[in-house]
Amino acid sequence: MHMHSRAATHGSRSRNTAVRSGHNATPVLTSPAALTGNSGDDTRWRERAISAYRQSLPDVAARLRAELAARLAALTAQNITAESIYANSEEQLAVVAVDGMVFRLRRHELMIVRPCSVCGVGQFESPAIATLPELGHALTDWEPRCAHCTEADPSNWLDLES
């Protein structure tokens, strides 16, 4: 929810400034001059920005693969080839399976992906992993569950369905 208020202007009455509330409140200029910009500026800036972004995607994918391989090598002493890692540059995501365990790097946070420990259907990301003890916790104590799954079926589950 954004709340707008008018801030006091100093000097010129034609400059209205709205201030957004929130963590990093920044002034938002609302005067017509601020919204139109200079008419003499190069208007192809959007195309250049989009082109630069698209050209950077292969480099981003390579960096994601390299980061995931390096972090797994440090934690598991396994050499992971970059070719075995799936990377999605737009989502800042890299994924690889090591000895049957799926590792995911999302926005520089390493985690494992496991199915629901009860039904095996839902897929869940562990808390972020940065150290060997955190990896050990994710492999042993972390047991993700779907919202509708309970730890164990009651012994009389057939009677409950009647």
Q: Residue 140 corresponds to which tokens in the numbers above?
A: 């042993």
What pLDDT, on the 0 to 100 scale, is given for residue 1?
40
pLDDT at 62: 94
Which structural domain, as residue segments, surrounds residue 84? 46-140
User: Residues 83, 130, 76, 79: what is their CA dihedral angle, to the nearest 10 degrees?
Assistant: 20
What is residue 21's predicted lDDT score, i.e. its pLDDT?
42
Confidence band (pLDDT; 50, 70, 90) for 108? Answer: very high
Model confidence at 151, pLDDT cuts 50, 70, 90, reads low
Three-class DSSP category at 26: coil
Could you give the number of structural domains in the chain? 1
Tokens of 105: 């790097």
In this model, does residue 12 exceed pLDDT 80? no
Mean pLDDT of the chain: 79
Q: Is 17 inside a domain boundary? A: no
Specify if 111 maps to a domain: yes
Is there a domain that residue 88 lies in? yes
Say whether pLDDT at 23 is over 50.
no
pTM of the model: 0.63
Strand partners, 97: 102
Query: Is 145 inside a domain boundary?
Result: no
Is the pLDDT score of 13 beyond 80? Answer: no
Given a contact cutoff of 8 angstroms between Cβ atoms, the answer to whether 97 and 105 are in contact is: no
Mean pLDDT over 118-142 rounds to: 94
Judged against a pLDDT cut of 70, whether residue 78 lies above it is answered with yes
